[in-house]
Structure 1
Amino acid sequence: MTMAIEGKVALVTGGGQGIGRAIALRLAQDGADIAVVDVNADRAQAVADEVRAHGRSATAFVADVADRDQVYAAVDHAEAALGGFDIMVNNAGIAQVDPISAATPDDVRAILGVNVEGVLWGIQAAAKKLAARRNPGPIRGKIINASSIAGHDGFALLGVYSATKFAVRALTQAAAKEYAADGITVNAYCPGVVGTDMWVTIDERFAELTGAPKGATYEKFVDGILLGRAETPDDVAGFVSYLAGPDSDYMTGQSGLIDGGLVFR
């Protein structure tokens, strides 16, 4: 059986854990070679080793996506180390849980740097590389961005986080319009309540702010999911696999919800 993206090179930011790790491993399973980019060298290397265990080539690179130069360097490294460049997954992100009234300039700068600027620099660097390479075929490359259900609905105590994820949707739409003529599609994935360390942190912070017992906020959100269970990183990775593969070649500018039935658009 031919794998969907066999021989392609994919870069995944925030690839050292959680959703990013699942995406890296799924794309490797689909036949891609993977550049794992993370701020933590040990985590990135560990996932790169897992990719190699799946029989694909991999490289690990340390970068803070809030730093434009580091993102460009990561893309250059992926091409040099793996011999190509086809797919960019701008997955890295951070969460903040606070009332709007408590947001500070430092808080806002930190989350904008990763969640918005990180995606912007990733789009820039990937589009420049893909346009220069002129990969064969009508679709010469794919850029895939991490948004969220919070990019479709603003959530209380997640106001600034929600704003960053709305911004990712806007960047996705604008980039799709700008780069279509270059044969580059740009889409986003919007997960819901995923059982990762990020949601553990969110739940703990909700408990501090609201007095709810630990675990109660997580359970409340999960109870609202129509399919009756929390999302797994593999659920998200399956959708990203679709966006990375040929079956989504006629799709661009979209931010698809993959949340088990929680937010509807």
Structure 2
Amino acid sequence: MRLPFSSFVLIALLMAGSALGQPDGRKIYVTHCASCHGDKGQGNEEEYDEPLWGRKSVESLTRYIHRSMPEEKEDTVIDEDAHAVARYIHEEFYSPAAQLRNRPPRIELLRLTNEQYRQSAADLIESFKRPQTIIPERGLRGRYFNVEKMNKEKEHVLERIDPVINFDWGSGVPAEKINQNGFSVRWSGSLLAPETGLYQFRVRTHNSALFLLNSFRGDDDKNSFIDAYVSTRNESHEKSGSKFLLAGRGYPVFLRYFTYKEKVASLHLEWKPPG
């Protein structure tokens, strides 16, 4: 059992002796180079302010150091000493791999302004919606229906673009073929906000109306922005609301109206920009 142990000790000593016989690149660099280039190759303002970073191979660095370094003492670090220094600086701080190890990328959080945050959030939400197409026509597209009893859309009789929602029909009707006993209208379109800020909206009617702004669906009654659906004795009533909008963005608009066996019919949708 003693023979293998002796062999192991002998081999270890031989290896240690071989390593001791090689030039110490780090020691040579500290002695002859660090005063100009810095202990980590970061440079020195008084001598050489450029950091020792690059893409040359160990062999290429060896040739350069052997031929040119240190300045005015070019014969100091040559041959095996030059190779030892080249290998040391290449592995410690010169090569791209060493740079990545010594200066790993950092993940930093950016602080957004209120406006940037709103725009980013709007972009995110917009990605889940169907893309909108801006057309030259201005106004809301209205689909008019005749009403029979409480069937609010018995017969579709008319479709048109209404530039503004500002109607006082009185005891009349919006157009021919529309039933005087009752009719309903569904308007849809988009509001293109001219500036960023808080907008005021108001719905006035003698009848029933629901206004949905920035909604995915036109029949989402539970999430209506302005609910003026309950009408009392055919008297004029109004509901209002405010919403913050971003300039240049199109917001889906849905407006629903209904009247049945009422003497007076009217609907007004009004809005006021910020300021």
Q: TM-score range by the shorter chain?
A: under 0.3
More strand by share: 2
More helix by share: 1
The alignment's TM-score, normalised by the length of structure 1, stands at 0.24
RCO greater where, 1 or 2, for CA within 8 Å and sep 6 or more? Answer: 1
